Amino acid sequence: MDGGKGRKILVTGALGQIGSELVPALRHRYGENQVVASDIRIPAAGAYEGLFEQVDCTQPLAIQDVVRRHDIGAVYHMAALLSAVAEERPQIAWSINLGGLYNVLEVARQNGAAVFCPSSIGAFGPSTPRDGTPQTTIQRPTSMYGVTKVAGELLCDYYFERFGLDVRGLRLPGLISHSAQPGGGTTDYAVDIFYQAVRYSHYTCFLSPDTRLDMMYMPDAIDGIIQLMEAAPARLKHRNAFNVTAMNFTPDELAGEIRKSIADFAIDYEVDPVRQAISESWPHSVDDSAARREWDWNPHYDLAAMTADMLAKLGAKLKTPARRA
Ligand code: SER
Q: What is the pLDDT of residues 28-82, one digit of tens each?
A: 999 999 999 999 999 888 888 999 999 999 999 999 999 999 999 999 999 999 9
Q: How far is the CA of 184 from the centre of ligand 1 (A)?
A: 8
Give the span between the Cα atoms of 242 and 237, in whole angstroms: 10
State whether the Cα torsion 184-84-126-270 is positive or negative: positive
**Residue nearest (by alpha carbon) to ligand 1 atom 1:** 174
Give the span between the Cα atoms of 202 and 195, in whole angstroms: 10
Ligand 1 atom at minimal distance to the Cα of residue 172? 6
Closest C-alpha to 38, from 17, 60, 19, 65: 19
Q: How far is the CA of 185 from the centre of ligand 1 (A)?
A: 5
Give the span between the Cα atoms of 284 and 133, in whole angstroms: 8
Q: How far is the CA of 120 from the centre of ligand 1 (A)?
A: 7
Residues in Cβ contact with 127 at an 8 Å cutoff, skipping those fewer than 6 apart: 138, 140
Please tell me the least confidently modeled range out of 95-104, 113-122, 178-187, 279-288: 178-187
Q: What is the pLDDT of residue 321?
A: 58
Main-chain phi, psi angles of 210, to 5 degrees: -105, 20
Give the span between the Cα atoms of 39 and 105, in whole angstroms: 17
Ligand 1 atom at minimal distance to the Cα of residue 282? 5
Closest C-alpha to 75, from 110, 41, 34, 104: 104
Whether 122 lines ligand 1, by a CB cut-off of 6 Å, is: yes
Contact of 197 with 203, CB cutoff 8 Å? yes
Whether 118 lines ligand 1, by a CB cut-off of 6 Å, is: no
| pLDDT tens digit sequence for 152-175 | 999 999 999 999 999 999 999 999
Residues of the chain with CATH 3.90.25: 176-215+247-282+301-317
Q: Residue 325: pLDDT band by 50, 70, 90 thresholds?
A: very low
Give the span between the Cα atoms of 155 and 102, in whole angstroms: 8
Query: Residue 105 burial (CB < 10 Å; 0-12/13-18/19+)?
Result: buried
Residue 323 pLDDT greater than 60, yes or no: no
Single-letter residue type at 66: V
Give the span between the Cα atoms of 226 and 297, in whole angstroms: 11
Q: Higher-confidence residue: 11 or 44? A: 11
Q: What is the pLDDT of residue 3?
A: 74
| Mutation choice for ligand 1 from 149, 170, 171, 186, CB with most ligand atoms inside 8 A | 186
3-state secondary structure of 313: helix
Residues of the chain with CATH 3.40.50.720: 8-174+216-243
Q: What is the pLDDT of residue 215?
A: 98
State the DSSP string of 35-66: EEEEESS-PPTTS--S-EEE--TT-HHHHHHH
User: Average pLDDT in the 306-320 region?
Assistant: 92
Q: What is the pLDDT of residue 320?
A: 65
Contact of 60 with 107, CB cutoff 8 Å? yes
Residues designated catalytic: 145
State the DSSP string of 175-232: EE-SSS---S-SSTHHHHHHHHHHHHSEEEESS-TT--EEEEEHHHHHHHHHHHHHS-
Q: Which CATH architecture has domain 176-215+247-282+301-317?
A: Alpha-Beta Complex (3.90)
Closest C-alpha to 173, from 126, 229, 213: 213
Q: How far is the CA of 19 from the centre of ligand 1 (A)?
A: 14
Percent of the chain exceeding pLDDT 70 equals 98
Please tell me the least confidently modeled range out of 14-23, 175-184, 225-234, 273-282: 175-184
Q: What is the pLDDT of residue 47?
A: 82
Q: What is the pLDDT of residue 173?
A: 98
User: What CATH superfamily is the domain 8-174+216-243?
Assistant: NAD(P)-binding Rossmann-like Domain (3.40.50.720)
| Mutation choice for ligand 1 from 17, 18, 83, 245, CB with most ligand atoms inside 8 A | 83
Percent of the chain exceeding pLDDT 90 equals 92
| pLDDT tens digit sequence for 291-312 | 999 999 999 999 999 999 999 9
